[in-house]
Homo-oligomer: A and B are copies of this chain.
Amino acid sequence: MPLLVMKFGGTSVADLERIRNAADKVRREVERGYDVIVIVSAMSGKTNELVGWVEETSPMFDAREYDAVVSSGENITAGLMSLTLQEMDIPARSWQGWQVPLKTTSVHSAARIEEIPRDNIDAKFAEGMRVAVVAGFQGISPEGRITTLGRGGSDTTAVAFAAAFDAERCDIYTDVDGVYTTDPRISAKARKLDKIALEEMLELASLGAKVLQTRSVELAMRYNVRLRVLSSFEENNENSGTLVCAEEEIMEQNIVSGVAHSRDEAKMTLTSVADRPGIAAAIFGPLAEAGVNVDMIIQNISEDGRTDMTFSCPTNQVERAKAAMQKVKDDGVINYAGLVADTDVAKVSVVGIGMRSHTGVASQMFQALSAEGINIKVISTSEIKISVLVDRKYMELAVQALHDEFGLEKAG
């Protein structure tokens, strides 16, 4: 039988009525002839309650115990969802991570999936089970202890199951009805995309579009899983939501697919650094070791053998970056005059696989921003993305201007 994976997030299973509503969507797929693997999150609020208890008990908690406590939220939902489906006369049963077993690394609270053996669940499908309800976000370590996958863990669980079971599609039910050309709260002209390429979704996810977690999109790319993002709170049909798929499936394509933004970037400038070979490694090596995720880098023109080095990183890593730089300075590895942190900036990005075959997107972007009087502070590019740092007060204006410039309110 063809198989679907359906994932329901915390708001979609927040109470018994919503669980019934979600189960209704599962029932419809079963009636269409699918076997279904359902991945559930904890009822919204539950995980926060459990995390709160752990942190109050032990601020520097043992992550193994954290995982044992926090994973119970998903177990509860899995059992309740299975019971709800059984009440609809659908043969269903729940699976906790260790029962599958979903095997992970031992990195507690941020474990990576290593293997999902199909035998146990396949045996039950062969016996007539139509729905396997799996507790998301969790697995079992080689030592036999419960692990959790960290942020976005349930999305990742869903994609991993879709890959392991050769699912026709992995449907991610959430509280929005799809992926938009930009944040509808910023531009009223934002348009829901029917399709988007996995590569584009990956850039958008990592740029702060919160619909899907980066990790799950990476996994979908690696295993070529077709993802669909759609709303738990609407009636859906086969064309609802946004299909996140291989680029070959997308016939008509705008050059730019979306405009993303992020408020959580800081611009850091090391002033008057000696401009010598190896200086970049001397700076960014220690930053990487300190766990600072450096995104953009620019180096100013050198004057008298000294230069300014600018980079961006998430706002909450500024202190860590400062400490790391102070240390290399104290150790005499590098010398610099000062380290200036500007947290009053935002990142705005345009993303589109069409950029691969179309030149001139960057200059069109810079001109559009310039026409609005917006100064660009740092630039970075990838094959299908151009990002700029601008003053935070211009963020909304920049998004709107770029959305207009690339005609995103109309389908390609």
Contact = CB atoms under 8 A, between A and B. Distances in A.
A194 to B, nearest CB: 36
Interface residues of A, number: 34
A80 interface: yes
A20 B66 CA distance: 17
A98 B19 CA distance: 27
A27 to B, nearest CB: 15
Contacts of A65: 79-80, 82-83, 86, 93-94
A209 to B, nearest CB: 33
Interface string A47-86: 0001001101110011011101100100110111011101
Main secondary structure of the interface of A (DSSP, over half): helix
A96 interface: yes
Contact of A75 (B56, B57, B69, B144): B69
A83 B62 CA distance: 7
A142 to B, nearest CB: 14
A19 B57 contact: yes
A16 interface: yes
Contact of A87 (B57, B75, B82, B98): B57
Contacts of A299: none
| Of A16, A54, A68, A82, most B-chain CB atoms within 10 Å | A68
A370 interface: no
A380 interface: no
| Of A16, A80, A99, most B-chain CB atoms within 10 Å | A80
Contacts of A94: 65, 68
Contact of A98 (B57, B80, B82, B98): B98
Nearest to A78: B68
Nearest to A84: B57
Contact of A76 (B61, B72, B80, B98): B72
A69 B98 CA distance: 15
Contact of A83 (B61, B87, B144): B61
Contact of A99 (B56, B78, B79, B144): B144
Nearest to A57: B83
B69 A79 contact: yes
Given A16-B53, A76-B50, A86 B58 contact: yes
Contacts of A61: 83
A19 B99 CA distance: 29
Given A98-B98, A99-B144, A69 B64 contact: no
A78 B54 CA distance: 11
Contacts of A56: 16
Contacts of A62: 82-83, 86, 93
A58 B72 contact: no
B84 A58 contact: yes
Interface string A5-26: 0000000000010010000000
Given A61-B83, A68-B79, 5 more contacts: A54-B83, A57-B83, A65-B82, A69-B83, A99-B145
16 contacts: A16-B57, A19-B57, A57-B87, A58-B87, A62-B86, A64-B93, A65-B79, A65-B94, A66-B79, A68-B75, A68-B78, A68-B96, A69-B75, A75-B75, A96-B146, A98-B98
